[in-house]
Chains A and B, each alone.
Chain A
């Protein structure tokens, strides 16, 4: 550190993090005439400079050495399965892949873009009305404090930012063939048509349909066609290059803040981005009820104070929660009493799949993209009756060929040696003849799962790391067996030579990648005792602070999170520009 923090000129609003959430809110505030400073701890990433086909399709660099991800030397988390254990740092990313630099994790993401269902936003009430005390009392489910009538327009708007490709299943209550019959009523179709399924999803959809399921195209921020979004940003059609999840796109086909928002925003008056600038703390006045700005450190080690009237924290689940803990916002959650807002209801996503091996198929698995594919939703959430099943929740079942770069993608049947002649033969035989059916499933809150500051491990600046205490609830493990039975049935009907079942069992393991869908920890709600923000993502305690991201989810349904992160960002942006500015510093909802 080089001396005391220097003070920067005042700005109307400061945004922490220029991923999906931060960029959208910054854009909407600048469009409304505010002067906005965006602070991003990583670099400025630009398609034309950083991703071209001389460098983009590099599995070693991006998938193995994780170049687009946050480096753990910079910041990581500690992890343990329960409070009796001592948490240890994740020295290398495994279970999840947090982002760094403009675009955030939403740059190297896969692009599957769901809307949650209307019931989700009042899940605790809905399940207790329907199943009463059949719901495991260990779960600490909560309502979101919002409803479908408020969420639908925000989803619609986000879809027009990202250009989402898909086919509607329900427009104004009319169920449409070829779409997802379980989705909430939408006012209009997706902005772009569905992507084309490759052989594996095609085959899956045919067999699933024969079994009575209603397959549909996975909604995708990997674009099927050229599109100009509502900010005037142009996108190109996906070429199914197969270097997608964990990579940047050289074709402007994958929606992210760097393709859909920032290049327009950075040219606008009123916006300043400061990159390689890491926010350390949200500063508040003496009674802790008004944010005065943020302190950040740049890559030279210089500390700065950026005063602002509005602070938006959009630093991804983990860092949003850590910043709240470091800044004294909310009461740290105590798993012993179940009290406190900050760190509460941390959830994940429960990954299940079956792998199929065939003799007589050529899947050309190297063709694909993060969100290409076909899905069914009969296995998801409360789309089936859970009476007497002993669990609630479910997952979205999908076949999604993301590509098959061969360092990481060399499926062989269990029991194959890991090296030598037999390994080589099996690798060559199976490389193009295997596929998997995944079921990305719900993760429900339970009392002992939470986020807190680690008492032992510090980041490079001497501040405590965030500590993740998490294990899969019994409810979710039972759910996993059930949904994996279902996808195994479909898999068998596809007549593979062999099938392998991977239902989630045992403890949460930090080593294998599962998903970056970490949610909760500073949730939205209607009750200030059990939520950090109101339904506008406005802090109950500090009304000029908005905390936006998947940290707001009180639990996670069987869908990927980002469609909802985007919608919540839109919701917060609208609340600020339409209502908050009329009466600054006032709560938009009375506690």
Chain B
């Protein structure tokens, strides 16, 4: 065992090139703060950009279909605005345009086999592909059955179609109808309940509905208010000045 004296001037943290070396540059720099916000959104540890204010994935017809679905899945009533009004389609567009859509973080190597239910989702397509192909075959189904697009059906018929997808009674290909339905429902709910930062949950509509106070981060004053309704005004990350970019306004 060699116990060499440690080098005095060595960098302690050797991140490889891609990781950047910012950690070790801890020097104090003089800074002038003059009217521009010192903290930029998407600076320190940015989230992936979601909705940017323009459609990046859906074409107009797809966006209409998703909006119409969100209207039925989360209908407008006394409790809240509808899923479409809350921005669910915009939210999903932002997701599908990003890494969620491309599947770039997922293991997508074959062989692809169906497997048991316990082995989980084994479909060979990315989310973006599932939406594109799934919505196309849904459109085809609606035109064949009703001579109309989903978005142009009346509410009751739309519900019938949604139920048919949910149970699998309506058969679609190649994306199974149940998969298409559960993907869309899942993403609509994410859009409705996520921080408004990502384009959905406008005005924190869902949080107000539930009584969820959002991104408050300190509940110590309320800890022992046992069995009391708190009615706390919600706070969102998106609501902070730092996030007031065009996309979130």
Contacts and interface: CB of A to CB of B under 8 A. Distances in A.
A590 interface: no
Given A33-B3, A420-B159, A432-B210, A273 B118 contact: no
Most central of B77, B206, B210 by chain A CB within 10 Å: B210
Contact of A92 (B120, B185, B227): B120
A494 interface: no
Interface in A271-321: 271-277, 298-300, 302, 309
Contact of A274 (B16, B45, B207, B222): B16
A578 interface: no
A424 B237 contact: no
Interface stretch (A71-79, A113-121, A139-147, A559-567): A71-79
A243 B8 CA distance: 40
Contact of B109 (A50, A89, A243, A275): A89
A54 B235 CA distance: 11
A152 to B, nearest CB: 30
A89 B108 CA distance: 9
B37 to A, nearest CB: 12
B194 A60 contact: yes
B221 to A, nearest CB: 10
Given A71-B105, A418-B166, A86 B113 contact: yes
Interface string A1-14: 00000000010100
Interface stretch (A123-131, A196-204, A438-446): A196-204
B6 interface: yes
Contacts of B72: 419-420
B212 A270 contact: no
Chain A: interface size category: 35 or more
Interface string A422-442: 001101100110000000000
A541 interface: no
B47 A88 contact: no
A90 B118 CA distance: 10
B29 interface: no
A508 B116 CA distance: 11
A44 B23 contact: yes
A323 interface: no
Interface string A398-416: 0000001111001000000
Contact of A57 (B11, B100, B166, B215): B215
Nearest to B22: A49
A197 B208 CA distance: 25
A308 B68 CA distance: 62
A418 B181 CA distance: 11
B194 A509 contact: no
B246 interface: no
Nearest to A53: B217
A195 to B, nearest CB: 9
Given A91-B108, A239-B218, A367-B219, A406 B210 contact: yes
A53 B15 CA distance: 26
A90 B18 CA distance: 27
A51 B45 CA distance: 8
A309 B3 CA distance: 11
B106 A73 contact: yes
Contacts of B228: 362, 364
Interface stretch (A166-174, A261-269, A326-334, A525-533): A261-269
A177 interface: no
B224 interface: yes
A210 to B, nearest CB: 17
Contacts of B222: 364, 367
B31 interface: no
Contact of A421 (B75, B162, B217): B75
Contacts of B217: 53, 56-57, 239, 241, 243, 250-251
Contacts of B48: 61, 65
Contacts of A86: 113, 115
Most central of A299, A361, A421, A424 by chain B CB within 10 Å: A424
A412 to B, nearest CB: 12
A182 interface: no
Contacts of B16: 274-277, 298-300, 302
Interface string B77-98: 1011000000000000000000
Interface in B46-81: 46-48, 72-75, 77, 79-80
Interface in B1-42: 1-4, 6-8, 10-19, 22-23, 39
B80 to A, nearest CB: 7
A511 interface: yes
A456 B117 CA distance: 20
Nearest to A268: B12
B44 A362 contact: no
A266 B10 CA distance: 11
B144 interface: no
A318 B210 CA distance: 39
B122 interface: yes
B131 interface: no
Contacts of A424: 74-75, 77, 79-80, 209
A268 B11 CA distance: 10
5 contacts: A88-B120, A199-B226, A250-B217, A363-B227, A419-B72
Give 9 closest A-B pairs by Cβ, nearest first. Answer: A269-B6, A239-B218, A72-B107, A57-B215, A298-B16, A270-B6, A419-B73, A60-B194, A71-B105
Given A269-B7, A299-B16, A425-B79, 14 more contacts: A33-B3, A53-B215, A55-B46, A65-B99, A85-B116, A88-B113, A91-B106, A94-B120, A362-B228, A362-B229, A364-B222, A418-B166, A419-B74, A419-B188
Interface of B: 1-4, 6-8, 10-19, 22-23, 39, 44-48, 72-75, 77, 79-80, 99-100, 104-109, 111, 113, 115-122, 159, 162, 166, 185, 188-190, 193-195, 197-198, 206-207, 209-220, 222-230, 237, 240, 242-243
